[in-house]
Chains A and B, each alone.
Chain A
């Protein structure tokens, strides 16, 4: 370039990132489309399994089951909260859409956990892995979703499965980060004690590090769920069904009613998932004094009813023995 100006070099010198990305994407699409298509398969299986499962359960049964699970992991208050939020979802008339969205979110959680927790463990084990992975996670979390919506469509097509993939990309980062953090925060004296008693690295991970990191990992699961819920609205642009689609259609038609109903459904679903996972995290935190997990809540009722028949004066001591 003849008119190169030292004070304003960017007028003539420019790195053509855009066209590089475009040409490499074209190359990928032309040569590796089948590879990417085959990645769809496991996601598709899990998603359709969860979705048909959720949709085949009658709402009343689902609400009762959810309330019982909530009661078991977090006490009566959480149980009541689960029942109320789910009933309200049904009452505003978005039950089926909510179940589709729940299936999407749970599928993405499944893959996030399957990929994210091992990655977090690797990060905790090696500083180099962490240094390499950290900018990648930053990019995945902060890159506007619209940017990778297009390549995902070009490689995977449209529909629920690519939608789950976009959601995984967006929401996996906190799980990796918090798994890493949780394991790194295990007190050094516990690690040293475990080493002194002859733990192999595997025993260390399974018996000491993971249990002690469990509350932090549960916080990561909670964050991942919340992020996936916010992502399913954006993913509805590539033809993902559920509550997100209701919101998108409502906005497109300027139908505030429809958009609001979809939005309220998402908020209720978010409250339900958030309280439930938080309760799970707190439960591992407390390490329930004296009693095992099955000795409280609805299971505890059954447990005590069974025990108290043969042993009339059952003390907590003899129950655990």
Chain B
């Protein structure tokens, strides 16, 4: 992956909360850890030497428990929180140290944010809320209303434009929040635990909606979550944070199969791995047995999730053939193999 495909790149970013960040930085450079610094200086380390980049058009999930610095991290991107040191680039443009005016431009054009608490303006109608970002940017009323209406249609809220936020349910309020962020057509959509305050059914519906919108518009989305199910469902890549540090970045399968440490492994405890692993990941080529295609013998596609092939493997009398999208033979899965894989994770 070359750097031209990176829309956001973060290098050596630190954030220290407190009156004397230099002191804490010196201690960090000397190798002190977070709790030691807090005890000695009273400075809290929010983000510790973060390095990663987000590719154009992907959903990048930042995951961690509360206090791991994930919400701080996302606010560093649009400088709602000032980084203590390091560099953040959007489309090759340096964000840290931008003067106020240029920073406002970045917030208006390059990045929009969706909040856990929705943060809608109670004194504005749904339409005015959705057009808020455009109004702030100085767009004429006619034009911004048209674009806000379009955004409301995208999130399925056409017809509610004259309601006020308190008349809507939580899920609908967050749709307004999403429409407000989409209306300004940002290069990057930042979503801070956007669905965490919603009940499970609505949350799952909104996740589906987000996946659909992302596929349609190919928008880059940075999504903050503490829920592994959510992260795996929507994320193309996931960064896991612990105590201000990014401990691992990878696809859901990378994290599941090669966790960097126990913290990452602990996230997957109780998680149904058959949702992530695909038939192709388990299939084995047995040299002693030649593949003979026959219309009666069962076969599965290699990109089928494991959870969907249990009954096929169980009911077939012999190992099930796995074929890739071109119909080429990848190997076979026997019930024993399947059980071994499941018990390993």
Contact = CB atoms under 8 A, between A and B. Distances in A.
Given A212-B122, A287-B123, A197 B107 contact: yes
B115 A189 contact: yes
22 contacts: A189-B115, A190-B119, A193-B120, A193-B121, A196-B111, A196-B190, A197-B112, A197-B132, A197-B133, A197-B184, A198-B108, A198-B136, A198-B137, A200-B104, A207-B121, A212-B121, A212-B123, A214-B123, A284-B123, A289-B164, A290-B162, A290-B163
Interface size class of chain A, counting residues whose CB lies under 8 Å from the partner chain: 20 to 34
The A interface, classified by DSSP as helix, strand, loop or mixed, is helix
B105 interface: yes
A196 B113 contact: yes
Interface of A: 187, 189-190, 192-200, 203, 207-208, 211-212, 214, 284, 287, 289-290, 317, 320
Given A212-B122, A212-B123, A320-B162, A196 B112 contact: yes
Pick from A192, A197, A287 the residue with the most CB of B within 10 Å: A197
Contacts of B107: 195-198
B117 interface: yes
Nearest to A210: B123
B68 interface: no
Interface size class of chain B, counting residues whose CB lies under 8 Å from the partner chain: 20 to 34
A300 to B, nearest CB: 16
Interface in B155-203: 162-164, 166-167, 180, 184, 190
Given A198-B105, A211-B123, A287-B123, A193 B113 contact: yes
Contacts of B163: 290
Contact of B80 (A192, A284, A320): A192
Contacts of A287: 122-123, 164, 166
Given A196-B112, A290-B164, A189 B136 contact: no
Nearest to B183: A197
B299 interface: no
B295 to A, nearest CB: 58
A190 B121 contact: yes
A196 B78 contact: yes
Nearest to B167: A289
A199 B136 contact: yes
Contacts of A211: 121, 123
A207 B128 CA distance: 11
